[in-house]
Structure 1
Amino acid sequence: MSERIVVVGAALWHEGRLLAARRSAPAELAGRWELPGGKVEPGETPDAAVVRELREELGVDAEAGERVPGEWPLRTPYVMQVWTARLRPGSAAPRPLEDHDELRWLTPDRVWDVDWLEHDVPAVRDTLAHRGPRQSV
């Protein structure tokens, strides 16, 4: 069996809204929306990678919650896992730092107003189903 490389996506919830990040790079992804995240580093747990990636990409202090059931194939050998996350009390507001040029907090009824990357669509759908219609966290 070939090696799999896990990429984590952060379903960052705040006041009942999900954070979407618009890619600015690379060119083939620019203008499309995704859950922020990135590769799990060797020796790192996926939930620790969520916290690190949110700090690096958005400058926020967050904590990982639970893993959304399932995983979604990306380009071989990558697979995406999604973890819920929330801002820690007193954390700064998210801001795009790395590969993003805009952020939006989307209520569950507005999640599909943005043009998600294809591989994020099933992950976002399952994230909403896993979370349910709750409006607060």
Structure 2
Amino acid sequence: MTERTVVVGAALLDGGRLLAARRSAPADLAGRWELPGGKVEHGERPEDALVRELREELGVDAETVERVPGEWPLREPYVLWVWTARLRPGSPAPRPLQDHDELCWLTPARLWDVPWLEQDVPAVREVGGRMGAGAR
């Protein structure tokens, strides 16, 4: 059996809104929206990887809040784990630095206004339920 590699995703919440990031690469994912994040490096705690990835991808100083129940398969051997996260006081505003060309903050009523990557939909649905958003 192949060892799984964990990919962490951030349900970054601020003022009752969720941050969505539009992929710019690779080509087969470009134009679709996701929860920002990335691969956990060997010996790294998933929570630490998420904070690092948010710094690298969005230029923010964030902290994890709680793990979203569940895990979702990506391309072999990857699996997605999601945490809710928040910006630390004094953090700069998020901006797309790597892998993304646009960001948007979505209120619960607008959560499904963007075409999410399929693997992110269950996590977005779970987070949306906590935000009071309608199910999809």
| TM-score (ref. length: structure 2) | 0.94
1:58 partner amino acid: L
RMSD: 1.1
CA distance in 2, matches of 1:76, 1:14: 32
What are the superposed Cα offsets for residues 29-61 of structure 1, whole Å, 9 maximum, x if unpaired?
111000000000111111111100000000000
Residue aligning to 1:23: 23
Residue aligning to 1:79: 79
Q: SS of the residue aligned with 2:70?
A: coil
Residue aligning to 1:133: 132
Question: Counterparts in 2 of 1:45-124, with a 5 A limit?
Answer: 45-124=45-124
> 1:77 Cα deviation (Å)?
1.0
1:133 partner amino acid: G
CA distance in 1, matches of 2:30, 2:73: 20
Regions of 4+ moved over 4 Å: none
> 1:76 Cα deviation (Å)?
1.2
Structure 2 unmatched ranges of 5 or more: none
> 1:127 Cα deviation (Å)?
1.9
Structure 1 unmatched ranges of 5 or more: none
Q: Count how many residue pairs are aligned between Structure 1 and Structure 2.
A: 133
> 1:2 Cα deviation (Å)?
2.5
Q: Contact between 2:8 and 2:82, CA under 8 Å: does it hold in 1?
A: yes
| TM-score (ref. length: structure 1) | 0.94
1:33 partner amino acid: W
